[in-house]
Every structure is written in C-alpha cells, then in structure tokens.
Amino acid sequence: MTKPLAARIALYVVLIVGAVIMVFPFVWTVVTSLTPGATLTTTPRLIPEDPSLSPYIELFDRVPFARVIGNSLLIAVVSTLLQLVTSAMAAYVFARMPFPGRGALFVLYLATMMIPFQVLIVPLFAEMKTLGLINTYAGAILPTIATAFGVFLLRQAITTVPYDLDQAATLDGAGHFRIFVQIILPLIRPALATLAVFAFLNTWNSFLWPLIILRDPLMQTLPVALTSLQGQYSTQWDVLMAGSVISIIPMFALYVFAQKYIVQGVAGAGLK
Amino acid sequence: MTALGTRPDVAVAAASAGPATTRRGLPGRRRMRYALTVMVFLLPSLVPLLAFVIGPMISAAWTSLHSWNLIGPMSWVGLDNYAHLFTDPATRDAFLHTVWYIVGYLPIVYVGGLALALALNTRLRGRAGLRGMYFLPVITSWVVVALVWRWLLSPSNGVVNSVLAWFGVEGPGWWSDPAWAMPSIILASAWKDLGFVMVILLAGLQSINPDLYEAAQLDGAGWWRRLFSVTLPMLSPSTFFVIVLSLINGFQVFDQVYVMTGGGPNNSSQVVVQQVYDLTFRYGQAGMASALSWLLFFVIMLVTLVQFYGQKRWVNYD
C-alpha cells in the first residue's frame, strides 16, 4: 500500500503525541521524587535544579518501607506459586481425567469468574475475623490461591499436548502423578509463565483486599502503604512519588523480561 | 485483565467429552484409586474456591437480609435493605455516578485505542518500542496511577494547570471541584487502559484478511470508506470484547476513586463500590452493604446478558 505524504505525517503525529502523553506522567513521577520539598505551592522543574535522593530517605524514615516491600514480595510470590500449583493440578483433571459430573463441576469453576469481588467483601472479612486471620499474611493470601482463570488457561494448554504421550507413558507403567510432573508440566511451560506473570502482576498491584485485611502498618503492602502516606502527608508529593517509583520498578523489570507473555496474553483475550 | 484466550462454551463441551477412554470397566480397587487421584488433584483449588468465593457469595445473600454492624448479632429484616436501596437517593446517585464514569471512559479508550492500533498496524520504524511505551500504564497499579494523576492534576501547582497557565488558561480545580472530580478520574483511568484496548484491537486488526482491503481498493474505496466498510465490521468481535469487559470493570470501579477523591467532594464522585466500602467500614451497615453489592451483581449480570443477546445484531463472527 502506498501512502500519501500527508497520511504518513498524520500517522507520526498521532503516534508521537500518544507516546508523550503515555510516558510523560512517569517522567514527572521520577522528576518529582528527585525534587525535595515539592509542596502545595510550587511546581517542580522538568530538570531539577538541585536533584537529591532525600525524598527516598524520608520515605524510609516515615514508613517501615523496607518491611512494606518485603510484605508485597512475600504475598505476591507465595500467592503466585500456590496459584500455579492449584491451577495446574485442577487443569490436569479437567483435561485428562474424566469422571461423571466433570462438565458440571467445570461450569461451577467458570461461574466463580463472574462473581465481582466486591460482593465478597463483607462475608470474607467476617470469615477471616472468625478464623483470626485479620492482619496476617495468610489472610491476605488465601483468597487468591485458586482462580478459575488459571485453571482455564492451563487446561487449554494441556489439551494441546498429544494424548499419545500420556498413553506411551502409561504403557511404561507411569501413573497420573508421574505423567503430570514429567510430561505435562514441562510441555506447558509457556502457559505456566503467562499465568505466573499475570498472577504476580495482579497480586502485586491489588488494593481492595489488602486494604481491608491488612490494617497494621507493619503488615501493609505497597499500594496500601502509599495511600496511607497520602492521608498523613497530603502535601508531600516528593515522598509520595518516591514511593510510587519504588512500587513501579519491579513491574517494569518484569515487563522487560516477560513482555512476550504479557502482550500475547492480553492480545489472545480479544480473539475468538 | 482476566479471561485470556479462553472460550468458556467450547471449554465446557470439551471438558464433558474428555479423552475417549471409559472408566466404567475398571475393577473396584482401581476405581477407588482413580477417584482418590482425582480428589487429590482437585481439592487444592476446589476447597479455596468453595471457602473464599462460593461460600461468601451465598453468605452475602444471607447477610443482605439482616441488619448487622459486623460486631454484634445479626437481626432479620427480610427485604427491607433492598426496599431501602430502591428509594435511597444516595444509591441512585452512586449508580448515576458509576454510569457517568462508564459513559465518559468508554468512548475515550475505544477511539483512542483504535487510533493507536490503526497507526501501529502499518509497517513502521520503531513500532515495537512505541507499543511498549503505550503499554506501560497497563502494568502499573491503579493506586500509583491515581496518585500520579492526582499530583499531575493538582489545582494549585500541578503540571497540567501550570502548562495551561502558559497559554493563559486558568485550569479547573480538577479533583477538588465537584464538577471536575469525575472527569479527573475518567482521564486517569483512560490513560491507564488505553494501551490495553490498543493491544486487543491490534490483535483484531492483524487477523483481518488483507484480501478484503485489496478488493475494497479495487472498488475505489477511500481510507474512510475502508475503515467503516471493512475494518470496523471485521473488528466487531474485538470491539464487543472491549465493551463487555469495560462495562463489567466500569461498574466495579473503585481503586482510582478511593485514592483520587474518596467519592468527594460533596459525594460528587461517589460510585457504587465506594458506597459498599463506606457502608461496611464507615457506617457499620454490613447488611445494607451486602444488599447493595448483590444489587450491583444483578445489574452487571443484566447488562452483560443484554449485550450477549444484542450482539447478533452487530457482531460479525465470519
């Protein structure tokens, strides 16, 4: 297709304006975090006159921020690992082990995807209170360890593995556990990676449930700690932006290494 | 960002069929062993789903029929909570604000996402890098997005109003002004989701058969004609997906509202989920909050069902 010059220029204008709008807020976040004393009265300069890391130091003075980062990491890692295990095991049954009523059970799993989390807030909080799990890691992690989404994704992947491989292994005397661990899991690694990335991203960024269950400042995750900082020091944008930078960095790093899985995962969603 | 690449209906049919071996002929002992294996594989996901999703869902329905402050005993009120919600102006406002959010947000992300997808769907230098940039906000948390935009839109010294001032325009009060609070939230949300919509539409564009464009061009169709007669009809499954997902997520909007305005000023941006949160943790009306969350669930189900029934009129699955 040949394109007239005007069309090419229009194309570049759209793309460049778009890129500036998308990237500028991140640049501004970093700039603000390096401009100590950005208060309610001045707008920082794009190139700070006297850049300094003191907002970061102040952040760690004000909040147990190292502990908060640790909380976020622990919760995200444990939740992701458990989600991988529970999803893969269930997916294996739904792909490879028929039994009466399996289709109906699958529909039940499906149905849980349609329940908005907000409906669960009150009873889940009450349940955790009864179990004594308010302000605990277990309380934050447990509701996230099994998702129908993970089961689906991995079931789809397992069904693409040729059934002959299972049968050959069965002839060699392998049971379901060995087939699952030695044949299926290695062959669905790309799907496991996609699920791992999304599970980590979702837990690391999640807000509503940690906000409700983790009330103690020592137990809070990054997003929750950031909002409590806003409440206490609403004018200290430099400190808040320093915290934002810290919470973005791991996601950007993950994105650089796992871009393929993230973009493919999202793109696959819209195709029939 | 959920529901990736899965067609539930197809998956269910396949799960019912399974591999073509029948287990009926197995002797009793082996059948027991088989059943036990199934249990061991299923329970790690089934128990949490029952305990933390399905159980609480049912329990929320029960709670919604009671008056309860989260601490004391529950007292039965029947359908009073629902009756109250249907006449309560605060509920009506919360739903109106939520709809206002969706009506503002959806056209921006769709038109913006489509423009970017069309622009990126051409042979172009630096395409991957640009796509990467547009996608960055998608992986950033709602809390950070909301904080950063609250700062960008700060009425007194935010960078947006400073830039407007260069041009002699006095910027609005953004999140501190009841008339501008919701537009501020919409702006931040659209910025975050634009890249997500773009990637979905881009995948849709790339699956369109190039022959169609060639045929249209031979018929003398110009760029706009091709957009409306070829691209948009062929893109309708992706468009449908974006709209369904945006409405489901839009009705559940919370994080960015909580951080940017807390529902204020003067309740001007109070949305349904914020109302559920406030009823539970600020006013100690857990029964009422449960009723409202069930009401929200019904509304979301209804809206989604209507869309699935309406799709035959405009969605093209050829």
Whether residue A87 lies within 8 A of chain B, CB to CB, comes out as yes
State which of B63, B95, B115 marks the end of a domain. B63
At B67, is the secondary structure helix, strand, or coil? strand
Same domain, B159 and B45: no
In this prediction, residue A62 carries a pLDDT of 84
What is the tens place of the pLDDT at every residue in A193-231?
889 988 998 899 899 999 999 989 999 999 999 988 876
Which residue segments constitute the domains of chain A, with CATH numbers given?
Answer: 64-232 (1.10.3720.10)
Supply the pLDDT for residue B316.
82
Q: Are B53 and B85 part of one and the same domain?
A: no
Q: For position B5, what pLDDT does the model report?
A: 41
pLDDT band at A1 (very low <50, low <70, confident <90, very high): very low
Please list every residue in chain B whose beta carbon sits closer than 8 Å to the beta carbon of residue A108. Answer: 54
Q: Are B238 and B270 members of one domain?
A: yes
* Beta-carbon count within 10 A of B318 CB: 6
B185 and B283 fall within a common domain:
yes
pLDDT at residue B190, as a whole number: 96
Q: How far apart are CA B174 and CA B180, in angstroms?
A: 5
User: For residue A182, what is the DSSP state?
Assistant: I
Task: Answer yes or no: is B8 within a domain.
Answer: no
Residue of A nearest to B199 (CA): A267
- Do B168 and B285 have their domain in common? yes
Q: Are residues B36 and B110 in the same domain?
A: no
d(CA A156, nearest CA chain B) in Å: 7
Per-residue pLDDT tens digits for B250-290: 999 999 999 999 998 999 999 999 999 999 989 999 999 99
Among A105-119, A137-151, B175-189, B197-211, the minimum mean pLDDT is found in A105-119
Task: Let me know whether B260 and B152 are in one domain.
Answer: yes
Tell me if B318 is assigned to some domain. no
For the stretch B49-90, pLDDT in tens is 999 999 999 999 999 999 998 888 888 998 999 999 999 999
Domain membership of residue B12 (yes or no) is no
- B152 Cα distance to chain centroid: 24
Cα distances (angstroms) measured from residue B278 to each of A128, B85, B110: 19, 15, 31
What mean pLDDT, rounded, does chain B reach?
Answer: 87
Residues B59 and B205 in one domain: no
Closest residue to B4, CB basis, from A127, A269, A272: A269
Task: Give the end of a domain, one of B13, B37, B63.
Answer: B63
Please tell me whether residues B114 and B37 are part of one structural domain.
Answer: no
Q: Is residue B126 part of a domain?
A: yes
| CB spacing of A269 vs B52 below 8 angstroms | no
> Residue B192's domain is classified under what CATH number?
1.10.3720.10
- The mean per-residue pLDDT over the stretch A230-235 comes to 62
Kindly tell me if the per-residue pLDDT of B21 is higher than 60: no
Q: Which of A14, A22, A171, A254 to mutate to test the interface with B (most CBs of B within 10 A)?
A: A22
Residue B35, domain extent: 23-63
Per cent of chain A over pLDDT 90 is: 47
Residue B74 in domain: no
- Examine residue B131 and state whether it is found in any structural domain, yes or no: yes
Rg (CA), chain A: 24
Give the pLDDT mean for B22-32: 71
| Residue B203 clears pLDDT 60, i.e. is over it | yes
Q: Does B302 have pLDDT greater than 50?
A: yes
Q: Which of B35, B63, B91 is where one domain is finished?
A: B63
Q: Are residues B37 and B109 in the same domain?
A: no
Q: Is residue B108 part of a domain?
A: yes
| CB crowding A44-68: b at 16 or more within 10 Å, else e | beeebeeeeebbbebbbeebbbeeb
- pLDDT of res. A89: 97
B1 pLDDT above the threshold of 60: no
Torsion-angle region of B220 (φ positive above 0: left; ψ -120 to 50: alpha; else: beta): left
- Domain contains B70: no
> What pLDDT is recorded for position B52?
94
Whether residues B29 and B110 fall in one domain: no
Q: Is the pLDDT assigned to residue B20 strictly greater than 50?
A: no
Instruction: Give per-residue pLDDT as tens, B227-245.
Output: 998 999 999 989 998 998 8
Contact A127 B56 (CB under 8 A): yes
Q: How far is CA A10 from CA A16, A222, B113, in A?
A: 10, 41, 16
Q: What ipTM is given for this predicted complex?
A: 0.88
Which helix H or strand E contains B66, and what residues bound it? Answer: strand B66-67
Domain count, chain B: 2
